[in-house]
Amino acid sequence: MIVKVLLLTIIILVIAFIGFAISILIKKNGRFPELHIGRNEELKKRGINCATSQHKIEQEKAKNAKLHKNLSLLDKEMESL
């Protein structure tokens, strides 16, 4: 009984791997679509970023805001010109 289940499992896995190989060969450029949010062009077009990228952007904004707060009134006036 255990041998039959093991053999059936191995056969199913082999079929699955063959299916993946065939789908890679059939797809354009032999690649699957990019699933990582940061490198996916469709998500970039919609303005969707990954959490890491969004965090970096927000940290930079906070850093710039903090630097802006430390400027004196004269510095702010000079910057606006």
Q: What pLDDT sits at residue 20?
A: 85
CA distance 66 to 58: 12
pTM: 0.38
CA 53 to chain centre: 9
The dihedral built from the CA positions of residue 37, 43, 45 and 47, taken in this order, carries a sign that is negative
Residues 38/50, Cβ–Cβ less than 8 Å: yes
* The predicted structure's pLDDT at residue 12: 97
Model confidence band, residue 30 (pLDDT cutoffs 50, 70, 90):
low
